[in-house]
Amino acid sequence: MKLGCIGDDFTGSSDLANTLAKGGMRVVQYTGIPAQDAAVDVEAGVVALKSRSIDPAEAVRLSLEALDWLLSQGCEQIFFKYCSTFDSTAEGNIGPVADALADALNASKVIVCPAFPGTGRSVYQGHLFVKDTLLNESGMQNHPLTPMTDADLRRWLAPQTAGTVGHVAAQTVFAGHDAIAEALEAEDAKGHRLIVVDAIRDEDLTEIGRAAKGLPLITGGSGVALGLPANFGCKAAPAPWTPQPGRAVALSGSCSVATRAQVEAHRVHSPAREVLAADVLEGRITAEGLTDWALSQDGLPLIYTSADPETVKAVQAEYGRERASEALEGLFAEVARQCVAKGVTRVITAGGETSGAIVEGLSLDTLEIGPEIDPGVPALRAGEALVVALKSGNFGATDFFAKANALLAGTA
């Protein structure tokens, strides 16, 4: 294994795996830390953790365990993958995990770059934009677990890390990888270990990747990985993909603007059932009932809790944030288990926490990377008779659910 990757959630990990596979690497995504060695032909291993919103100390512990396993596989470089909207709080978990990995690897000049132009994320003058809108005005300020209220990545990261945060500006990035490498050296000389690097185009990310050759640790969104396969001389052909016939179900727990639009579009022509958090918490709705409903529908049934931000806040205020989140994630995991046990062969999810709960609930250990559905969202084979699509809340076109189902089924 050449490149070892640690993802802080399951949707982001599949996004990264997709990017590396398109770049010519043989990639496998693992759910949690594997108990055995990787296959000898794996060039990039992506260890997907559910560590984005947990206690920072636990996120660090899991990430260091993942690092130990990846190093034991012979990895020459480590990539810490987080969301392209930099989902985190003042306590972490991006800063604490990046610090711990850098300490373990004795790494300096650690790139911090969540940019992903293909989905509208860019970093300019150290600020993160979603298309033409600052992050804190994009809807991410209403995220139920990691509300993003400041677009300045340097300022947002500062309380999370033990050190100071540097910056490489866009004008330097435009000059290419040699200029970027020199700027990283200069920021390191100033005492900055974590360094935010601007990027607004795929070309910028490719040059940043070239500048990162030989660095022990890189952090960012999947976009920075565009330039990494070439550093290792990888040119593998895409793995063959076999569609999966049978029944399907879609499960959405994201309240992002993009997912809510996708839910509304799907409801027009397909069966959809909204689940209210209060009904789950009060025991008025069960996994058994939802499974029976889904299996009685034609087409692609969608079960969703993608409520508007004010509704989410009201539920959290009444029941507590953790209790509400755990109840919904547990419900979706159980619905997925029951659906698959009763013959469902395609599962489509929306939302990072929801996807993580479902992957864990289904005990999916290894995911094979298939073709791309939408930027950042690949088809994934989870077993001989099971394929999945794990969508981050903010990703995907308006018709994502139907598009994903058609590609997974081979009817696109």
- Of 376 and 186, the structure prediction assigns the larger pLDDT to 186
Residue 237 falls inside a structural domain: no
Half-sphere exposure of 9 (CA within 13 A, CB side): 30
Residue 15 falls inside a structural domain: yes
User: What residues contact 307, with CB distance under 8 A and at least 6 apart?
Assistant: 255, 276, 277, 315
Mean pLDDT of 176-181: 98
Query: How many separate domains does the chain show?
Result: 2
**Mean predicted lDDT score pLDDT of the chain:** 94
pLDDT for position 213: 96
280 plus 185 within the same structural domain: no
CA gap 150, 148 in Å, rounded: 6
Structural domain that includes position 383 = 247-409
pLDDT over 90 (residue 172): yes
10 plus 149 within the same structural domain: yes
213 plus 358 within the same structural domain: no
Residue 368 falls inside a structural domain: yes
Mean pLDDT of 135-142: 91
CA gap 66, 141 in Å, rounded: 30
Mean pLDDT of 326-338: 95
pLDDT over 90 (residue 267): yes
pLDDT over 80 (residue 350): yes
Tokens at 265, concatenated: 């579009």
In the listed set 231, 258, 287, which residue is the last one of a domain according to the structure? 231
CATH number at residue 292: 3.40.980.20
pLDDT for position 168: 98
Residue 239 falls inside a structural domain: no
pLDDT over 90 (residue 268): yes
pLDDT over 80 (residue 379): yes
Judge contact between 81 and 13, C-beta under 8 A: yes
**Which of the 8 DSSP states describes residue 108?**
-
Strands 272-274 and 302-304, bridge-based pairing: parallel
In the listed set 231, 258, 275, which residue is the last one of a domain according to the structure? 231
**Nearest CA to 135 among 196, 193, 180?**
196
Mean pLDDT of 17-24: 94
Q: What does the CA dihedral 134, 135, 141, 147 come to, rounded to 10 degrees?
A: -150
pLDDT for position 393: 87
Residue 241 falls inside a structural domain: no
CA gap 222, 100 in Å, rounded: 20
pLDDT for position 296: 98
What's the one-letter identity of residue 177? H
pLDDT for position 240: 85
9 plus 69 within the same structural domain: yes
Mean pLDDT of 162-171: 97
* Radius of gyration, CA atoms only, the chain: 20
350 plus 253 within the same structural domain: yes
Burial track 374-389 (b if 16+ CB lie within 10 A, e otherwise): bbbbbbbbbbeebbbb
pLDDT in tens, 68-107: 999 999 999 999 999 999 999 999 999 999 999 999 999 9
217 plus 254 within the same structural domain: no
285 plus 358 within the same structural domain: yes
Which has the minimum average pLDDT: 36-45, 210-219, 276-285? 276-285
pLDDT for position 307: 67
Cis omega (within 30 of 0) for bond into 93: yes
pLDDT over 80 (residue 399): yes
Mean pLDDT of 343-350: 97
**Nearest CA to 89 among 179, 189, 160?**
160
226 plus 267 within the same structural domain: no
CA gap 320, 300 in Å, rounded: 32
Tokens at 132, concatenated: 């033409």
12 plus 84 within the same structural domain: yes
354 plus 304 within the same structural domain: yes
66 plus 151 within the same structural domain: yes
pLDDT for position 322: 80
Mean pLDDT of 169-189: 98
pLDDT in tens, 270-293: 999 999 888 888 999 999 999 999
Residue 306 banded pLDDT, cuts 50, 70, 90: low
Residue 236 falls inside a structural domain: no
CATH number at residue 61: 3.40.50.10840
Residue 311 banded pLDDT, cuts 50, 70, 90: confident
- As a whole number of Å, the end-to-end CA separation of the chain is 34
Residue 240 falls inside a structural domain: no
199 plus 251 within the same structural domain: no
What is the reported pTM?
0.88
In the listed set 198, 231, 264, which residue is the last one of a domain according to the structure? 231
Judge contact between 61 and 104, C-beta under 8 A: no
Tokens at 289, concatenated: 């009932």
Judge contact between 345 and 248, C-beta under 8 A: yes
User: Quick one: 242 exposed, middle or buried, by C-beta within 10 A (0-12, 13-18, 19+)?
Assistant: exposed
Residues of the chain with pLDDT > 90: what percent? Answer: 85
Judge contact between 390 and 355, C-beta under 8 A: yes
Residue 306 falls inside a structural domain: yes
CA gap 255, 139 in Å, rounded: 10
